[in-house]
Amino acid sequence: MGHRVAVYGASGYAGGEVVRLVDAHPDLETAYLGAHSAAGASLRSVHPQLGGGERVLGPIDPEACGDVDLAFLALPHGASAPVGVALAERGVKVVDLGSDFRFATPGAYTAAYGTDHPHPEELGRWAYGLPELFGDRIAGSDRTAAPGCYPTAAVLALAPLLAAGAVDPEGIVVDAVSGVTGAGRGARADLSFGAVADGVRAYGLLTHRHRPEMEEAVTAFAGTSVEIVFTPHLVPMQRGILATCHARWRGGGDPAATLRDAYREARFVEVIDEPPQTRWTVGSNRCLLAAYLDDRTGRVIVLSAIDNLIKGAAGQAVQCANLMLGLDEGAGLSVAGWMP
């Protein structure tokens, strides 16, 4: 008898991935699937790759899911706040994959998103869903905001070094590349195969909202404010993020050893001795890290690779749900990847 879960936003990339993981999970089962424009359609028609396709999507209505133990929200910016609050108030545990509850204060939210938060009283009540760093908080919470994909990669790379005082909190540079599934599933001319294949572009220069999220998440570890210059790039692949993180080294041991110590108990973070390829993480909930200290310039580079749809979204959400439901943290999640 598994826990019954709802998935709101099941028609997108992240939502479909949540359905796939829940279907393969030994202790969870989907009790409700909701979608906006795809409401009324079969799961098969929106995700032909999934089995069990006869299930029909319902509306994005917090009442519609009936009696469930936990709900995953994979909704656009701004859309998850009302649904999440309504579900939480009904006693449903909520894991929000969206960005509405990632900041701890209304001010931080407004600075990043330019609008007032619709439920400012909720901020601070949601755990930040990065289990390797905030696991106890998540396990004790009924409301979790899973991190953005880029912050997942960058924060796992930087937090232990900042916590150890080994790197300078000023002047951090994060250049990251992502596959296209990070941009969502809609019809956009700039994301057509003809506009993406065989090319690379930077985007969101200086303005990407994952930058303040990263800064807030690592600040707790640094004990002081942290300043990051973050530049995301789109590359022609489906899945994967590689974050190349630069910081000034303050000395004190070996960065790889510091990372290994920090993640000794973490089954989904591994520090390796060669540059991690995103391909090695695709299909897996793993984050692979490698660190390089440059004596010449006094700089450290930390490379961080994840599957943006799994450790960067659906897998991490399931990992949080496992903690919130008292299950084994890794239940239903794979360490092994797919490539090729």
Residues noted as catalytic: 149
Which of 273, 263, 248 minimizes the C-alpha distance to 159? Answer: 263
Instruction: Identify which of residues 23 and 142 has a Cβ nearer to a second copy in the complex.
Output: 23
Q: Greatest CA span in the chain, whole angstroms?
A: 61
Q: Which of 338, 332, 335, 293 is nearest to 70 (CA)?
A: 332
Beta strands per DSSP E along 26-128: 28-34, 70-73, 93-96, 127-128
Distance CA(291)–CA(275), nearest Å, equals 8
Nearest to 145 by CA among 194, 106, 94: 94
Is the Cβ–Cβ distance between 34 and 59 less than 8 Å? Answer: yes
The one-character DSSP state at 294 is E
CB of 229 to a second copy, least distance (A): 5
| Angle made by CA atoms 79, 88, 83, in degrees to the nearest 5 | 20
As a whole number of angstroms, the distance between CA 184 and CA 172 comes to 28
- Other CB atoms within 10 Å distance of the CB of residue 160: 27
62 or 169: CB nearest a second copy: 169
Closer of 61 and 294 to a second copy (Cβ): 294
Identify any residues that bridge with 14 across adjacent strands, giving them in sequence order: none
CB of 227 to a second copy, least distance (A): 5
Q: Rounded to the nearest whole angstrom, what is the least distance from the CB of residue 87 to a second copy in the complex?
A: 26
Q: How far is the CB of 243 from a second copy (least distance, A)?
A: 10
Q: CB-wise, 200 or 257, nearer to a second copy?
A: 200
Quick one: 127 or 256, whose CB is closer to a second copy? 256
Query: What DSSP string runs through 21-41?
Result: HHHT-SSEEEEEEE-STTTTS
Q: Please, what is the Cα angle at 108 between 175 and 177, to 5 degrees? A: 15
**What phi and psi, each to the nearest 5 degrees, are found at residue 248?**
-80, 135
CB of 75 to a second copy, least distance (A): 18
Nearer of residues 78 and 204 to a second copy, judged by Cβ: 204
Q: How far is the CB of 18 from a second copy (least distance, A)?
A: 12
